[in-house]
Amino acid sequence: MKKLLVSLAAAVGLAAGSAQAAYPERPITMIVPFAAGGPTDVVARIVGEHMSKTLGQQIVVENVAGAGGTTGIARGAAAAPDGYTIMMGHMGTHGAAPALYPNLKYDPTKDFAPVGLAAGTPILIVTRKDFPAKDLKEFIAYMKANSEKVNEAHAGVGSVSFTTCTLLNSLLGAKPSRVAYRGTGPAINDLVGGQVDYACDQIVNLVPQIQAGTIRALSIATPERSPSLPNVPTTKEGGLPEYEVSAWNAVFAPKGTSPEIVAKLNDALVKALDDENTRKRLLELGGVIPDKAGRSPQALQKLVESEVARWTPVLKAAGATAN
């Protein structure tokens, strides 16, 4: 028995030694904390495909959905920090979650080795097509006077559309009735059908409806207009510059992953974001690709800290909790 243990230990030691020498030597699992096919999953698969080429090993996406993405991230945070388990976190799991989930099993600012920002998707404010307010200025005025008569649709407590509209409402001092749906699809369905009045959501879910004129886009919450919707003015143009949000997605490794491995992963990520084809596919989705300075692990750590600091008071004040 003892002999077996010794040889096992030797084998493990050997494996660890060679892992340091030539990481990666086997496929890497990337946990996506949402169901396959959602915006974060799509970004992970597009970026992961190119990262696999650079690393010489396949990145396998594993979808572990649940509890607003925190189930998958908690599992990733607890994984061995050997570089073979990484995860795609986002604005919710690493920004809003500490306020929404009091029993959160990880600390976004402390329990991870950030790898780098992948891509963000801008947030739009949209209304049903016959809503009285035609632009952001009218919307602000309308909400100040009538917000109690207005219905907002969101994709469930803790979703991107929920958190970003919570911020919008608190900036406007508005108290609309908030109608919860299970996911973006049904929420937009009722917005198109005129059952509810407005919503905030990621651009990728909305562009076709806006182009077809079934819903109206009031404003986009980025510093510049989006090439996918050049006619939609920014929140700055509309007189609400404080409302600037994007649903960012970023790659994280568990805390304790060696800096060499993080550097290798970051290098692969940066190469993916420089690749012509990868960029094209991300831009088609209305995605925003971070500039060179925004792609480093340090920049991501800063972003996480500032996001947690930004969302916590807003969500706490709104009394929002997801458990």
Partner 1 sequence: MDIFSNLALGFSTALTLQNLGLAFVGCLIGTLIGVLPGVGPIATITMLLPITFGLDPVGALILLAGIYYGAQYGGSTTAILVNIPGEATAVVTTLDGHQMAKQGRAGIALGIAAIGSFFAGCVATLIIAALAKPLTGLALLFGPAEYFSLMVMGLVFAVVLARGSILKAVAMILVGLLLSMVGTDLETGAERMTFGYAPLADGIDFAVLAMGIFGFAEVLRNLEHPEARDVVKQRIGRLLPSWEDLKQSAAPVLRGTLLGGALGILPGNGAVLGPFASYTLEKKFAKDPSRFGRGAIEGVAGPESANNAGAQTSFIPLLTLGIPPNAVMALMVGAMTIHGIVPGPQVMTKNPTLFWGMIASMWIGNLMLLVINLPLVGMWVRLLKVPYRLMFPAILVFSCIGIYSVNNSPADVIFTAAFAIVGYAFIKFGFEPAPLLLGYVLGKLMEENLRRALIISRGDIMTFAERPVSAGLLLVALALLVVAVLPAVRKSRNEAFAE
- Find the binder of partner 1 among 19, 79, 157, 289 (CB under 8 A): 157
The token pair at 153 is 């649709």
Q: How far is the CB of 259 from partner 1 (least distance, A)?
A: 30
SS3 133: coil
- Find the binder of partner 1 among 17, 173, 208, 230 (CB under 8 A): 208
Are 196 and 172 in contact, with CB atoms under 8 Å apart? no
State yes or no: residue 81 binds partner 1 (CB under 8 A): no
Instruction: Please report, for residues 13, 20, 80, 145, 275, the alpha-carbon distance to residue 16 in angstroms, rounded to integers and kept in the order given.
Output: 5, 6, 12, 65, 32
Q: How far is the CB of 86 from partner 1 (least distance, A)?
A: 16
- Residue nearer to partner 1 on the CB measure, 70 or 266: 70
- 179-198 binders of partner 1 (CB under 8 A): 179-183, 185-186, 188-190, 192-196
State yes or no: residue 323 binds partner 1 (CB under 8 A): yes
- Residue nearer to partner 1 on the CB measure, 185 or 259: 185
- 125-144 binders of partner 1 (CB under 8 A): none
Q: How far is the CB of 204 from partner 1 (least distance, A)?
A: 7
- Residue nearer to partner 1 on the CB measure, 32 or 240: 32
- Residue nearer to partner 1 on the CB measure, 146 or 214: 214
Using the structure block, give the residue that is written with the tokens 């986002």: 90
Beta 151-154 vs 112-128: how paired, if at all?
Answer: unpaired
- Residue nearer to partner 1 on the CB measure, 67 or 136: 67
Q: How far is the CB of 147 from partner 1 (least distance, A)?
A: 13
Q: What are the DSSP calls for 24-86, one per residue?
A: -SS-EEEEESS-TTSHHHHHHHHHHHHHHHHHTSPEEEEE---GGGHHHHHHHHTS-SSSSEE
State yes or no: residue 64 binds partner 1 (CB under 8 A): yes
Q: How far is the CB of 301 from partner 1 (least distance, A)?
A: 27
3-state secondary structure 139-166: HHHHHHHHHHHCEEEECCCCCHHHHHHH
- Residue nearer to partner 1 on the CB measure, 22 or 231: 231
Angular region, 119: left φ>0, alpha ψ -120 to 50, beta rest = beta
9 vs 21: CA distance, rounded Å = 18
Contacts of 238 (CB under 8 A, 6+ apart): 135, 136, 137, 140, 218, 219
Name the helix (H) or strand (E) containing 167.
helix 160-172
State yes or no: residue 29 binds partner 1 (CB under 8 A): no
Using the structure block, give the residue that is written with the tokens 């290798």: 264
Which range touches partner 1 (CB under 8 A), out of 17-25, 79-87, 150-158, 301-309? 150-158
- Residue nearer to partner 1 on the CB measure, 67 or 240: 67
Residues that bind partner 1 (CB under 8 A): 35-38, 41-42, 45-46, 49, 61-67, 71, 100, 151, 156-158, 177-183, 185-186, 188-190, 192-196, 204, 207-209, 211-212, 214, 281, 284-285, 320-323
